[in-house]
């Protein structure tokens, strides 16, 4: 019968008379070459700026490979690591745009947004506009504002951000998207598949200009109807023209349109990239 040998102790001598052979204990070492490490498929983006060589005359190709992975995993974790201003040059063809009503509390919100964009060295154009008489009218101006920005920055794609938001880190996924519009459709308890227009990625083309014009016309048609928000109208227009215009729409990950309280409860493990603080809850009487 074999005796169990405790680790660290010298094996006892074999006193069996019937067994003349000596028991030899060999140290079995692992091979010099370590086994290949298993690396599961993830959505993390690894960028090595020192090894990138981009021909300035060659058009940028934006791979689609990350899109299905983002949609699959974004509810559990961030779709990519945190990127700082050292990677901002990857978004050099994107202009971040926003507007605020002059002589209102939104001016202070604009300062916070601008500070966050400057800190990350991102392109931005934040504009002050006159009040239009009501909070609803001021928010519905967004459709006309986007038309103006598409014309003003015709050589760049746009990312619209509500002025009461803060950009915490470089939203690197905008570099990888090939689409006409990137926007967040979110299921809430009070509304399913709600279109959130706080963050909008727009390619600068005829399709998006058409969407903005139809969006504006629907806002005008409803006039002072407070039952429908401008973002719901945008969702309606996107669904209407997705087929006829062959519009390619991407659902942004939640961290790109992260409402500071409600979505924190829904996605507790996610770190917001663009966080919205819903100043309209305090300033709905703004004219």
For 18-22, 51-55, 112-116, 178-182, which range has the lowest pLDDT when averaged over its residues?
51-55
The whole-number pLDDT of residue 162 equals: 95
What does the pLDDT read at residue 133? Answer: 87
Range of the domain at 245: 65-75+88-281
| pLDDT of 282 | 63
- Domain assignment present for residue 221? The answer is yes
Residue 286 has pLDDT above 90, yes or no: no
Kindly report, residue by residue over 57-74, the tens digit of the pLDDT.
544 444 343 343 344 344
pLDDT score recorded for residue 164: 94
Q: Which of 75-89, 146-160, 209-223, 273-287 has the lowest mean pLDDT?
A: 273-287
- Domain total in the chain: 1
171 part of a folded domain: yes
Q: Is 195 helix (H, G, I), strand (E, B) or coil?
A: strand
In a domain, 214, yes or no: yes
- Orientation of helix 230-241 relative to helix 206-222, angle to 10°: 130
For residue 34, tell me if it sits in a domain. Answer: no
The domain spanning residue 239 has which CATH number? Answer: 3.90.550.10
Classify 139 as helix, strand or coil.
helix
For Cα atoms 211, 219, 198, give the angle at the middle one, nearest 5 degrees.
Answer: 65
Q: Which residues pair with 129 in a beta bridge?
A: 101
Name the percent of the chain lying above pLDDT 70. 69
Domain for residue 220, yes or no? yes
In DSSP notation, 95-114 reads EEEEEEETTSTHHHHHHHHH
What is the spatial distance between Cα 142 and Cα 195, in angstroms, rounded to a whole number?
A: 14
Q: What is the distance between the alpha carbons of residues 199 and 182, in angstroms, rounded to a whole number?
A: 8
Q: How confident is the model at residue 143 (pLDDT cuts 50, 70, 90)?
A: very high
pLDDT tens string 81-105:
899 999 999 999 999 999 999 989 8
Asked whether residue 259 carries a pLDDT value surpassing 50, the answer given is: yes
Better-scored residue on pLDDT, 45 or 181 = 181
pLDDT for the residue 151: 98
d(CA 117, CA 260): 18
Specify the pLDDT at position 54: 39
Note the pLDDT of residue 138: 92
- pLDDT by residue (tens digit) across 174-199? 998 899 999 999 988 877 889 999 99
Residue 95 lies in a domain: yes
**50: in domain:** no
Region 220-225 average pLDDT: 77
pLDDT class for 134, splitting at 50, 70, 90?
confident
**Mean of the per-residue pLDDT values of the chain:** 79
Contact present, 195 and 249 (Cβ < 8 Å): no
CB atoms within 10 A of CB 194: 16
Q: What is the pLDDT at residue 262?
A: 77
Residue 275 lies in a domain: yes
Is-contact 87 115, C-beta < 8 A?
no
């Amino acid at each position: 019968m074999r005796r169990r040998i405790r680790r660290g102790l010298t094996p006892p001598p074999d006193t069996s008379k019937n067994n003349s052979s000596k028991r030899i204990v060999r140290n079995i070492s692992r091979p010099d070459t370590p086994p290949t490490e298993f690396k599961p498929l993830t959505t993390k983006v690894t960028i090595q700026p020192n090894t990138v060589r981009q021909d300035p005359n060659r058009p940028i190709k934006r791979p689609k490979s990350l899109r299905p992975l983002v949609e699959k995993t974004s509810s559990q974790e961030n779709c990519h690591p945190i990127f700082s201003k050292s990677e901002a040059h990857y978004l050099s063809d994107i202009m971040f745009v926003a507007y605020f009503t002059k002589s209102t509390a939104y001016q202070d919100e604009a300062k916070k947004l601008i500070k966050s964009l400057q800190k990350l060295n991102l392109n931005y154009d934040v504009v002050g506009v006159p009040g239009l008489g009501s909070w609803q009218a001021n928010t519905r101006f967004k459709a006309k504002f986007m038309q103006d920005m598409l014309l003003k920055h015709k050589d760049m794609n746009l990312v619209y951000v509500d002025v009461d938001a803060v950009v915490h880190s470089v939203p690197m996924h905008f570099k990888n998207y090939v689409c006409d519009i990137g926007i967040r459709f979110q299921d809430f308890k009070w509304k399913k598949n709600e279109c959130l227009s706080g963050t909008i990625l727009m390619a600068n083309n005829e399709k998006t200009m058409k969407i903005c014009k139809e969006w504006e016309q629907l806002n005008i048609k409803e006039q002072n109807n407070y039952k429908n928000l401008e973002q719901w109208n945008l969702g309606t227009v996107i669904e209407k023209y997705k087929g006829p215009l062959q519009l390619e729409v991407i659902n942004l990950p939640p961290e790109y349109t992260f409402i500071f309280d409600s979505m924190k409860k829904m996605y507790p493990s996610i770190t917001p990239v663009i966080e919205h603080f819903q100043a309209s809850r305090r300033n709905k009487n703004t004219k």
